[in-house]
Structure formats: structure tokens, C-alpha cells
Amino acid sequence: MPEKLIYFDIVITNFLKNLLPHNFFFDLFFSFFSLKGNAIFVWILVIIIALFLEEKKHPGISKNDKKFIIAFTLSFLLTAFLVEYPLKNFFNRQRPISTNHCPTNFSFPSGHAATAFSAATVLTFFDKKRRFFYSTIAFLIAYSRIYLGCHYFLDVLGGGVVGIIISKIILSIITNLKKIIFLKR
């Protein structure tokens, strides 16, 4: 990475990391959103809240619900896999600092940010009226990684972009599946 870009990344990371005071409340708040690598639980909670708020006229799982489950699962798992194995190992970027909140693997791109924005993109596609809620959760998860000192700004930005791209590809495939299958016949 070019020296000026590294300098910019460190400056913006330090600014964002210190934007909020580091105290018991914020440490606990952002630790919840990071959940030591298990951010899927945050999204399960978000989905449960969204389902609870949704008024269903017909009981049971609809065709749209099935598409959502498939899209969410594929996007989340594919994003997590691609970030964790090929991408992090390709870039080999060390983390800013090592704390008990941070994994010991490489830093770029952020897996938390990638899966957060992947999940938010899929949820927004199926539930546009709560897009602000989903985006806010994704930003909180991504920011938590900077606040806790586990990632640089560009790690989080890169992860977010990767998550959005992967989920948009999955959504495109799922929504056009009939067209794809029809063309193969």
C-alpha cells in the first residue's frame, strides 16, 4: 500500500477511534455489536425484531420468505468465507493493535463490516421500509471494529464494499433464477 494512503488510513482511523469517549458504556455498547466474531447473532436478533414488527396476513412461509432465507444465508456465508480465507490471506495486513476484542488473523478486509453490509443489503432488498434501521446496524457493527481498535478505516470500508457487492450478486441471481433456468432449456 502506498505510504500516503497508509498515513491517511492511520489518521482517519485515529480520528474515528477517538470520536467517542472510551468508557464503560461505549466499550460495552460496541463490544455487543462486535460479539467477538459472532456478529451473526446481532443479525438474528434484527431479523426477529423485524419479523415481530411485520404484520403477516397469512400464516406460514411465503415464496418471498424462502427467497429471503436463501439470499440471506448465501450472502452471509459466502461473504464470511471469501473475506476470511482468500481475501485476508491475500492482503496479509496486520491489525492496528491487539486487544482481547480482536481476533489474531489478518485485518483487511473487515469480516464484521463485510457481513454487516451484506446482511443489511439483503434485508433492505426484502424490507425497504426499514432500510435506515438495517443500515444503522451495519454502520454500528463496522464502526465498532474501529472503536475497539481491531481494524483500520480502509479495512472497514473495504469489507463493506465486498459485502454489498457479494449480496447484490446473490440477489441478482436469485431474482433472475427463472430467467437463468429458462435460458438453459
The predicted-structure confidence for 7-46, as pLDDT tens digits, reads as follows: 898 899 889 999 998 888 988 888 777 775 566 677 777 7
Per-residue pLDDT at 170: 93
Stated length of the chain: 185
- Listed range (34-38, 82-86, 155-159) with the worst mean pLDDT: 34-38
Is residue 56 in a domain? no
Per-residue pLDDT at 120: 93
Full domain range(s) for residue 154: 3-51+61-184
Total domains in the fold of the chain: 1
Is residue 158 in a domain? yes
pLDDT at residue 84 tops 80 = yes
Measured CA to CA, the distance from residue 113 to residue 160 in angstroms comes to: 5
Q: Are 114 and 157 in contact (CB under 8 A)?
A: no
Between the alpha carbon of residue 136 and those of residues 11, 29, 40, 150, the distances in Å are 24, 14, 16, 20
- The amino acid occupying position 117 is F
Q: Would you tell me how many other CB atoms lie within 10 Å of the CB of residue 64?
A: 9
SS (H, E, C) 71-105: HHHHHHHHHHHHHHHHHHHHHCCCCCCCCCCCCCC
Is residue 79 in a domain? yes
Is residue 87 in a domain? yes
Per-residue pLDDT at 36: 58
pLDDT at residue 64 tops 80 = no
Better-predicted residue by pLDDT, 157 or 128: 157
Q: Specify the DSSP element, H or E, that contains 129.
A: none
Is residue 93 in a domain? yes
